[in-house]
Amino acid sequence: MESRWSFIEDKDIRQVVKNCAKQRFEIINDYIRANYGHSVGRLEYQGAIPSDVLYHGTNAKVVDIILAEGIKPMGRKYIHFIKVPINCGLIRV
């Protein structure tokens, strides 16, 4: 685990999983996984006219690459954007 997360222990992660009201995660043989979304074959979304400005959350380490090359799906079916940055850290344009 990265040093910035070194204070988090196994028991902390297990407590979050156990106490999650929506049961979004499960732990099997010491591996954690999401309980939703990853096994869906094909999702159908209606097209929409995008806002003038959209925000995309990403790791700070790849911001320069995204600004130079654009956002790539990298094997994902969809790229997630939001209209209003809520609870965001650093915002770079």
Alpha carbon of residue 48 to chain centroid? 22
One-letter amino acid identity for 24? R
pLDDT score of 3: 79
pLDDT score of 17: 92
pLDDT score of 13: 92
Q: Is the pLDDT of residue 15 over 90?
A: yes
Reduced to 3 states (helix: H, G, I; strand: E, B; else coil), residue 74 is coil
Greater pLDDT, 57 or 39:
57
What is the token pair recorded at 80? 């997630």
Reduced to 3 states (helix: H, G, I; strand: E, B; else coil), residue 62 is helix
pTM: 0.44
With beta carbons less than 8 A apart as the criterion, state whether 65 and 59 touch.
no
Q: What is the dihedral of CA 65, 71, 72, 75, to 10 degrees?
A: 110
